[in-house]
Amino acid sequence: MKEKILSTKKNGMLVLLGILGLYVLATLYLIFGYFVISPSFWMSALPVPGFIIIGLAWIPLCGLKVVGPQEALVLTLFGKYIGTLREPGFYYVNPFCTAVNPAAKTRLGQSGDVDGGKGAVVVNEVYVPGGKKISLKVMTLSNARQKINDCLGNPVEIGIAVMWRVVDTAQAVFNVDNYKEYLSLQCDSALRDIVRMYPYDVAPNVDTTGDGQADDGSLRGSSEEVVRRIREKLQSKVSDAGLEILDTRITYLAYAPEIAAVMLQRQQASAIIDARKMIVDGAVGMVEMALERLNENQVVDLDEERKAAMVSNLLVVLCGNHDAQPVVNSGSLY
């Protein structure tokens, strides 16, 4: 079902003034008949038109609709969709029209529609006045954190924020039961589908793009690519609901608590190994430079055994974790 924009004139104020005028005229007619025409006025059929006007003139009031900026009102008449009011203004429509919004009482963890920041969906908790109107504003959905296994089987916790808006009110109202709940559930599904394709950190022999070639994609290092794929996946799922996904952002990413300590030790060990490699490379270079300088300046003539001892001592000093304790040799070198 496609959206149909109603081009109804904004004559709500004129109709309101006309109805109020009818009430005033009916009241004056009854007063005039009693005090001016005859006291027996009330005993005749003459007051009947006045009572009919007073008793039924409220019905057209049901057709008065106010639409604010960035709001829409989906109207049905006896179960048939007749159109949507999108432009802000004061309208008068058929008084038997009914505004439809199945998500009127559903609140999400999002800006402008919050549930206390818990990030969960709250259904039918509080009725908000004017809730039958559909907001056309850009809203930010912040779903609760999820625990998902990455492509290596490691559990990670991840949360995302989704910027979205309603672009087709008819599809949002009639194609799905509740478009807010639908968006939240599809967000969880799309996030799970994409995250399990990536490792948390770069790992060898992992294909994240599906081209059959190993790559360096990861949740931690390829966040822009990950959120792009989540946005495309989510958009493909909610297009039939008249929703547009404008942007997605990762708000939280970490290993699950049960393996966080082990993974931290792994990262620390990797960092220590990398640091040791750098220290060894630097120490070997310094030893080579020391031996070359000694030979160039002919400070001392060392045989191969003494060179080996000197290299060993220098490497111990340069690669050790603690400061070396020097030993003074007061005797002969040999």
Q: What are 42-56's pLDDT values in tens digits?
A: 566 666 777 777 778
Per-residue pLDDT at 230: 93
User: What proportions of the chain, in percent to the nearest 5, are helix, strand and coil?
Assistant: 45, 20, 35
CA-based radius of gyration for the chain: 39
What mean pLDDT is predicted for residues 198-210? 82
What mean pLDDT is predicted for residues 182-204? 89
Angle subtended at Cα 163 by Cα 159 and Cα 168, rounded to the nearest 5 degrees: 135
Q: What are 95-139's pLDDT values in tens digits?
A: 999 999 988 888 776 544 544 434 444 433 334 444 688 999 999
Q: Which residues, at least 6 apart from 212, have a Cβ–Cβ distance to it below 8 Å? A: none
Amino acid at 290: A
**54/51 Cα distance (integer angstroms):** 5
What mean pLDDT is predicted for residues 150-178? 91
What mean pLDDT is predicted for residues 48-66? 82
Q: What are 71-98's pLDDT values in tens digits?
A: 999 999 998 999 999 999 999 999 999 9
Per-residue pLDDT at 35: 61
Domains and CATH numbers, the chain: 12-99 (no CATH), 140-253 (3.30.479.30), 262-319 (no CATH)
Which range of 22-26, 171-175, 265-269, 319-323 scores highest in mean pLDDT? It is: 171-175
* pTM of the entire predicted model: 0.70
